[in-house]
Amino acid sequence: MSYWHDSAPDYPGGREGWLPKKVEVAVIGGGLAGLLTAYLLGEAGIDTVVLERRALGEGQTGNTTGKITCQTGLIYRKLENTRGASDARLYAEAQTDAITSFRNIIESERIACDLEQLPAILYTRESPSLLEEEAISARRAGIRAELKRRTALPFDVAAALAYPGQAQFHPIKFLMGIAPRVKFYQGLGVVGVHGRTILTDDGQEMEAEKIVFACHYPFKNLPGMFFTRLHQSISYGIAVSGIPPLDGMYYGIDPDGISMRSHGNVLLMIGGGHRTGEWGKNPDTGLRVLEEAAERYYPRPHIISRWAGQDCMPPDGLPLIGEYSPLRPNWFVATGFHKWGMTGSMIAAKVIRDKILGKRNPVEKLVRPNRFGGDTLRAMGKETGYAVSGLSKRIFLPPAEVADELAPGTAGVVFRGGEKTAAYRDSAGELHTTSPYCTHMGCELAWNPDTKTWDCPCHGSRFSPDGKVLDAPAVKPLENGQDPSDKTHERKPT
């Protein structure tokens, strides 16, 4: 659980009872994008239901930094170069509008979510020219951008670029404020979507005129084929208590850069990221990187939370929002936020609301899911390579471990009963075994010792040691793992 869950009050829970048989719009995924979409549709008088497999915020919203900002990494120079100045301006306007919309909702709904206005600050220790160029492009896009040499960080920087007037909040408290305003069902997983019919993991069926996939990674392979152009990246977070608040939200642009923000006297440090399923491939990644940084910069740091989160990475840095596929005009998708899920979610909610209402949204052309430029085609080739590699490990990579030799707290792919088996020995010495093959498309899984999960290098599904699905696109548990008939979320009719 992340710091945000640790520091939020208990949420009493979503709706109970049976789903309606029919609804105008069903939103799959009760994170920020899903709840905002339902909220805006509800404002427009559209009957909307949200289905969330887990508890409120247990997906990726609870793992973010909670920065609400138009500063989404080094994006404006890239947009100018690839799409032109007017599209860079359009992106900036959509981001700025999203910040305003957050403020308006928080104010009108009186949501106590620790909203603060602060600058968002990019920093570098090695490439000041990148920030100088970004400043020029950001200003051309209409953003106030100020270059600085000094910051409040506990180390020297070569340059920093501040965007004043941004915001940060407590993402779980915000969700808790918005969830009661929508028809939110939690603990109810969607296991199938066929046309207008949604099937849930407790055997219910619901008809929806429109269906919105706001479930982080779209799990329907066809149509859409998002797996050919989206991968997932995992990042780690720690919360250190007793640190005086920073003067802004910091984001490091160097390969080993750490993102930092404060929440009162707690400092959040995010970084150590890598492609999901590749823990240990690069020694400069993982939770240890953050723990060492905290030791380096703060005497005897008191780390109160450790966690990891996943981001869907689109090929060109822009999210994928809009029609799922021309073959399914009543399905919509919000994904690929590229580590910037706060403003991305608000933009998604607005674009999808407008599409459902038949209104044109100017930013729609930038984020439409079915765009196939050079970046996308290159990504498709790369993702195919990952899939081939992940599948070929099934046959050609021999097991690296012997089950009897696994020490407590370690895991590996072993031979058991003549078959490859994913095995984890917990700290009490008990062995947990399951299939090592992802139920999305069959790639061989890899162990992540920081999160104690089986992670898929192909498209980023993640599973618990007993095979339970933690992250899509997989929706089925691992074979020989968690009993699929184990309905821990089973509910009775009221």
Could you tell me the two tokens for 160? 């920093």
How many residues belong to the chain?
494
Closest residue by Cα to residue 65 from 282, 285, 262: 262
Nearer to ligand FES by Cβ, of 246 and 445: the residue is 445
Angle 256-272-117 (CA atoms, 0-180°, nearest 5)?
80
Cβ-based burial of 145 (10 A; exposed 0-12, middle 13-18, buried ≥19) = buried
- Which residue number, 214 or 456, has a Cβ lying nearer to ligand FES? 456
Q: Which is nearer to ligand FES, 289 or 443 (CB)?
A: 443
DSSP for 210-244? Answer: EEEE-SSS----TTT-GGGT-EEEEEEEEEEES-P
Q: Which is nearer to ligand FES, 71 or 232 (CB)?
A: 232
Site for ligand FES in 324-353 (CB under 6 A): none
Please report, for residues 94, 121, 187, 295, 316, the alpha-carbon distance to residue 298 in angstroms, rounded to integers and kept in the order given. Answer: 38, 21, 40, 6, 37
Report the nearest approach of ligand FES to the CB of residue 313 (Å).
14
CA distances from 441 to 333, 378, 394 (A): 21, 21, 12
Options 36, 474, 475, 478; binder of ligand FES; rule CB under 6 A: 474
Sort strands 249-252 and 116-124 into parallel, antiparallel or unpaired.
Answer: parallel
Asked if 438 is part of the footprint of ligand FES (rule: CB under 6 A), the reply reads yes
456 binds ligand FES (CB under 6 A): yes
User: Which of 69, 64, 66 is CA-nearest to residue 119?
Assistant: 69
Residue placing its CB nearer to ligand FES in the complex, 105 or 458: 458
> CB of residue 477 vs ligand FES: minimum separation in angstroms?
13
159-168 and 67-68 as β-strands: parallel, antiparallel, unpaired?
Answer: antiparallel
Phi-psi region of 450 (alpha: psi -120 to 50; beta: other; left: phi over 0): alpha
Q: Does 443 bind ligand FES (CB under 6 A)?
A: yes
Stretch that binds ligand FES, among 8-16, 116-124, 169-177, 456-464 (CB under 6 A): 456-464
Query: Binders of ligand FES among 6-45, rule CB under 6 A?
Result: none
Q: What's the min distance (Å) between Cβ of 396 and ligand FES?
A: 17
Contact 446, 462 (CB under 8 A): no
Nearest distance, CB of residue 458 and ligand FES, angstroms: 4
147 sits near ligand FES (criterion: CB under 6 A): no
**Checking phi first, is residue 452 left (phi over 0); if not, alpha (psi -120 to 50) or beta?**
left
Cα–Cα distance, 226 to 338 (Å, whole number): 14
**Listed residue (252, 235, 315, 285) closest to 71, CA to CA:** 252
CB of 19 to ligand FES, least distance (A): 27
How near is the Cβ of 311 to ligand FES at its closest, in Å?
Answer: 15
The residue from 57, 473, 477, 481 that contacts ligand FES (CB under 6 A) is 473
Selected range binding ligand FES among 74-82, 291-299, 340-348, 441-449, rule: CB under 6 A: 441-449
Min CB(455)–ligand FES separation in Å: 9
Of 191, 217, 186, 200, the closest CA to residue 56 belongs to 186
In whole angstroms, the minimum distance from the beta carbon of 334 to ligand FES comes to: 19
Whichever of 218 and 301 has its CB closer to ligand FES, that residue is 218
Token pair in block for residue 133:
């160029």
By CB under 6 A, tell whether 440 contacts ligand FES. yes
**Residue closer to ligand FES (CB basis): 122 or 472:** 472
**DSSP reduced 3-state for 206:** strand
Q: CB-wise, 227 or 332, nearer to ligand FES?
A: 227
Give the shortest CB-226-to-ligand FES separation in angstroms. 10
CB of 254 to ligand FES, least distance (A): 29
Find the binder of ligand FES among 459, 468, 470, 475 (CB under 6 A): 459
Only one of the segments 200-208, 257-265, 375-383, 453-461 lies at the binding site for ligand FES (rule: CB under 6 A); that segment is 453-461
- CB of 460: closest distance to ligand FES in angstroms? 6
Which residues in the 225-254 window bind ligand FES by CB under 6 A? 227
Asked if 458 touches ligand FES (CB under 6 A), the answer is yes
461 lines the binding site for ligand FES (CB under 6 A): yes
Q: In whole angstroms, what is the distance from residue 37 CA to residue 25 CA?
A: 10
Contacts 24+ apart (CB under 8 A), 363-367: 363/90, 363/91, 363/93, 363/94, 364/321, 364/322, 366/83, 366/87, 366/90, 366/91, 366/94, 366/318, 367/318, 367/319, 367/320, 367/321, 367/322
Question: What binding mask, one character per residue, do residues 191-230 give for ligand FES by CB under 6 A, x or -?
Answer: ------------------------------------x---
Which of 297, 441, 449, 489 lies at the binding interface for ligand FES (CB under 6 A)? 441
3-state secondary structure of 428: coil
Number of residues that bind ligand FES (CB under 6 A): 13
**What whole-number distance in Å separates Cα of residue 454 and Cα of residue 207?**
34
Q: Which helix (H) or strand (E) holds 329?
A: strand 328-335
Site residues (vs ligand FES, CB under 6 A): 227, 438, 440-443, 456, 458-461, 473-474
